[in-house]
Structure 1
């Protein structure tokens, strides 16, 4: 049976993402414009638009579409914004960010995932303003400052370096805490310091190096 991916994509946006309070028109357009099925491993392509996390190899997975939608909306990305993505993964969110922003710089710690993401972005024409760099965000340094930072994996606590990379007025999306109850937050870089807003509860895999320290019990 041949799947009409365009139709299934439209159904995902209208029946999964929009009902989860994702109402930003540009975000909905991005999710309709980027073919999620092209960024999913072939074995899971038929499930590309299901309300599921999907394995992408190297111990990583794609977020559920509803979480991706809420994340993109929370970042309030303008057409002239410069965005940093921490965790390129499959490249799907990178492509959505590229649709919304002027420039996207994405970091991916796994070389194989970074290479595959670059290939997919190029193949589908999303590489004009999206660059994927193989790097560990917890060791990476830059003098650049960004309007928005998107962290696609969880952290035990928000690293200070991430907030320092924000421009004044910049927004950071990240999921923090410990399973089974993790909290998605938006950090705003305001004049009087960082302001943290709680958005919703979810659960993600940890960013490499940002997981909780092991607890020793007697």
Structure 2
């Protein structure tokens, strides 16, 4: 086994699984998709480390543990249609695609989206639609989706995303401020009611244009 393959195996067995990610399907897909194929060449040696990796435009990849915990919370099925906000490297997009029916993924930077498209194609992942734009306040959809996952923090929960869920659908979002941001899973119970569930605390960067508004003192 090469050192890179060994690091990949260790990521799943020694990092992700001990962090309360016990869903065999999630662990299997994280074992199947090579994270090293979705990072820049100079970052390959750190691809499987328990750290957020910086990518272009000062964006970052979430840690493998966070990615695993997010996927487990979403409980995706082959029938699930997903909206992902923040394509980034394309790695988490690939994991979502492997677990669901179709993924619409939105990225702020066109260059990142184009690179992710090449990586996904190389991995033979075809059930993804990549789009580019500012999704800080929402994203127009032809029809509602089953699941929405936002891979960066938001100061507030955009109402557009709540409205974009089907009844029974779920939104995974990180809100609040450091050092204790809240990971929430919000389920749409009916046309007018949403039920939030607190999952755990973490700290991740804010979405572009989703940062808290600065309060000025005079």
TM-score with structure 1 setting the length: 0.95
Residue in 2 that maps onto 1:148:
147
- Residue 208 of structure 2 aligns to a residue whose secondary structure is coil
Contact kept, 8 Å, 1:37 with 1:45, in 2: the verdict is: yes
Residue in 1 that maps onto 2:115:
116
- Shift in Å at residue 214 of structure 1? 0.5
Deviation track 1:4-26 (CA, whole Å, cap 9, x = no partner) reads: 32222111111100111111111
d(CA) in 2 for partners of 1:28, 1:81: 18
Deviation track 1:19-58 (CA, whole Å, cap 9, x = no partner) reads: 1111111111111111100111111110100010101111
d(CA) in 1 for partners of 2:129, 2:35: 18
Structure 2: where are the runs of 5+ without partners? none
1:204 correspondence with 2:207:
no
Residue in 2 that maps onto 1:52:
51
Residue in 2 that maps onto 1:194:
194
Residue in 1 that maps onto 2:162:
163
Contact kept, 8 Å, 1:80 with 1:101, in 2: the verdict is: yes
Contact kept, 8 Å, 1:118 with 1:131, in 2: the verdict is: no
- Residue 217 of structure 1 aligns to a residue whose secondary structure is coil
Residue in 2 that maps onto 1:61:
60
d(CA) in 1 for partners of 2:212, 2:2: 41
d(CA) in 2 for partners of 1:64, 1:37: 13
Contact kept, 8 Å, 2:38 with 2:89, in 1: the verdict is: yes
Residue in 2 that maps onto 1:102:
101
d(CA) in 1 for partners of 2:138, 2:199: 28
Give the aligned length: 216
- Residue 178 of structure 1 aligns to a residue whose secondary structure is coil
d(CA) in 2 for partners of 1:32, 1:99: 12
Contact kept, 8 Å, 2:148 with 2:171, in 1: the verdict is: yes
d(CA) in 2 for partners of 1:148, 1:29: 21
d(CA) in 1 for partners of 2:130, 2:2: 30
Cα root mean square deviation, aligned? 1.3
d(CA) in 2 for partners of 1:122, 1:52: 26
1:176 correspondence with 2:194:
no
Q: Which of the numbers 130, 133, 136 marks the counterpart of 2:131?
A: 133
- Shift in Å at residue 190 of structure 1? 0.8
d(CA) in 2 for partners of 1:165, 1:108: 18
Structure 1: where are the runs of 5+ without partners? none
d(CA) in 2 for partners of 1:31, 1:155: 26
Contact kept, 8 Å, 1:81 with 1:147, in 2: the verdict is: yes
d(CA) in 1 for partners of 2:74, 2:62: 16
Runs of 4 or more consecutive aligned structure 1 residues displaced over 6 Å after TM superposition: none
TM-score with structure 2 setting the length: 0.95
